[in-house]
A and B are shown apart, each in its own frame.
Chain A
Amino acid sequence: MTTMEAIGPRPKRALDPARIMIYSVLIVAALYYLLPLYVMVMTSLKGMPEIRLGNIFAPPVEVTFEPWIKAWDTACTGLYCEGLKVGFWNSVQILIPSVIISIAIASVNGYALSFWRFRGAEVFFTILIFGSFIPYQVMLYPLVIITRELGIFGSLAGVIFIHTIFGMPILTLLFRNYFASLPQELFKAARVDGAGFWGVFLKIMVPMSPPIFVVAIILQVTGIWNDFLFGVIFAGTQNFPMTVQLNNIVNTTQGVKEYNVNMAATILTGGVPLLIYFLSGKYFVRGIAAGAVKG
């Protein structure tokens, strides 16, 4: 070290020890968070002989895409060996109607709660919010009976029904808070012009709310895609979503465990919510923060 630093004004906040400490902690934490992603990708690109050498952190010597093809196309998920693609399409079939129906219902709920308060509305809303903290296990068996009576147990309709119910608290909260932040004058002006309940909603509220619909869609797509419990109980064997199939591939295979195929399957399953997360940054944060903002 020379005495060069004495010359000129000290660069502001360059690298004092406190800053170095802060950055080192943040970087070490970032490495811990990134490690599983790195391991997933590296393992999925290796052949089994290379994996058996036991260097989980080493990059592949010979890159192969075989595990990805196998995971998608031929890996065994229980009785069938048709790969994860079956689960992928099942998840898509569950996802699209669940997202549309749950958001349609919850947005109307939120709208009614912010502009058309009727007696008892707040009571129902409060029960709805606190109901979302009840462990799902408490309501499972009666819901099995209800869906069975409705004739939708073990079907796509059954699992969509369940997702719509359990998406309702958070989505209603989200929409209620958003609509409540819109100016009341807007609502009154539309009412003076003769618009009714649905008129105000469709012509004024919905066109004003694309951001909150985006937040709701992100919340629901990641939530429903990641669901395991409802899929395994209510969807029926032929409609098992991707998470269930992934678990079957990894945890119930007979014979040799193919870790590279497992990791490829894991990336494929996590890929959808990850993609949404990386593309939607601030909306995702808004969605999860909505859960913490009280009504």
Chain B
Amino acid sequence: MANQDRPNPYFRNMNAKVAATPMILTTMIVFVGCSLWTVIYSFSASRALPVNEFVGFAQYDRLFNTSRWNKSVENIAFYGIFSLVFSLVVGFVLAAFMDQKIRFENTFRTIYLYPFALSFIVTGVVWQWILNPTLGLQEAVRNLGWESFTFDLIADRDTVIYALLIAGIWQGTGFVMALMLAGLRAVDDEIWKAARVDGIPKWKTYIFVVIPMMRGVFVTTLVIIASGIVRLYDLVVAMTAGGPGIASEVPAKYVYDFMFARANVGQALAASTVMLTTVLIILIPWIYLEYGKKKG
């Protein structure tokens, strides 16, 4: 206001800047600031409260010598790979089938997608009940006369991860299907006509023409579900609470437990920094790809 002829550039577009303040504060304080704080204090000797005594990689050393953490990493890797492959393949196949001008398309879509509207807590609780070894699916099949039928995934430390997979895939595949279907609908009809004229069978057209064209959709879907998998927490809490023993522990639960229940903040911060690093490994090539494309 002081010099009206030459407005100070900092006050130009003032309203927009004021309106964007919450966004600026969120990005700088929460996403950048809080993440940096966590990374820095992961090198400290913090126990119940964060302290300014820095001890290098001692927390990480301890972390990777903790069997519970190693089991968590192993679990999330196994869960991640299986659920990624499975939900991408099944999601795509369902979408491709849905794209064959079928009847009741809306009904099918509504059915496939409704679990995605439910929370992981609800999902976990329901599947915990269905997979209940004494009164669930196993007992129902035995009552039909197949006495030796065994399906106690959730009670066995070697198979409990499959129980989580069944529930997680149930909840999330509809979402992948919806994204894939949107991708398929964006494929030009001319491509299909051209393929038909050339006498290329449908499945070949899908594999060699349509899927390569949908690369963008696949990569985006992959990044979204992969970064969701890294933070997998609620489902485990509701379904197995990490058990039997530590058989279904996951990194996000390790962070929560050490941060709030065990009052060992240093361990929690080191563990979350490892989670952050994992996400960055997924994310950075993607950002690179996106930005490379925009420039080219």
Contacts and interface: CB of A to CB of B under 8 A. Distances in A.
Which 6 A-B pairs have CB atoms at the shortest separation, nearest pair first? Answer: A131-B31, A226-B119, A116-B16, A197-B15, A54-B139, A142-B34
Contacts of B143: 53-55
Question: Which of A113, A118, A278 neighbours the largest number of chain B CB atoms within 10 Å of its CB?
Answer: A118
B256 interface: yes
Contact of B27 (A23, A131, A289): A131
A29 B220 contact: no
A23 B102 contact: yes
Main secondary structure of the interface of A (DSSP, over half): helix
12 contacts: A22-B100, A43-B129, A109-B22, A118-B13, A124-B27, A135-B279, A139-B30, A141-B259, A243-B119, A263-B126, A266-B126, A285-B109
B116 interface: yes
Interface of A: 19, 22-23, 25-26, 29-30, 32-37, 39-40, 43, 51-58, 105, 108-109, 111-113, 116-118, 121, 124-125, 127-128, 130-131, 133-143, 146, 164-165, 168, 172, 196-198, 222, 225-229, 233, 243, 246-247, 250-251, 259, 262-263, 266, 269-270, 273-274, 276-278, 281, 284-285, 288-289, 291-292, 294
Nearest to A115: B16
Nearest to B29: A146
Contacts of B126: 36, 39-40, 263, 266
B129 A259 contact: yes
A33 B173 CA distance: 10
A135 B109 CA distance: 30
Interface string B93-116: 110011010100010111111111
B287 interface: yes
A56 B118 contact: no
A108 B19 CA distance: 6
Contacts of A197: 15-16, 19
Contact of A142 (B37, B90, B102, B175): B37
Interface stretch (B56-64, B152-160, B231-239): B231-239
Given A124-B24, A285-B178, A57 B268 contact: no
A233 B135 contact: no
Interface string B270-288: 0111011001001100010
Given A133-B282, A270-B118, 11 more contacts: A30-B112, A34-B111, A56-B136, A112-B19, A131-B26, A135-B272, A137-B231, A197-B16, A247-B238, A251-B241, A269-B122
A52 B231 CA distance: 36
A107 to B, nearest CB: 10
B279 to A, nearest CB: 6
Given A141-B265, A250-B128, A36 B170 contact: yes
Nearest to A142: B34
A250 B121 CA distance: 10
A127 B189 CA distance: 37
B231 A228 contact: no
Contacts of B98: 26
Given A124-B20, A197-B16, A247-B125, A229 B234 contact: yes
B190 to A, nearest CB: 22
Nearest to B137: A56
Contact of B129 (A124, A128, A263, A278): A263
B23 A36 contact: no
A36 B15 contact: no
A170 to B, nearest CB: 11
Interface stretch (B78-86, B204-212, B222-230): B222-230
A141 B128 contact: no
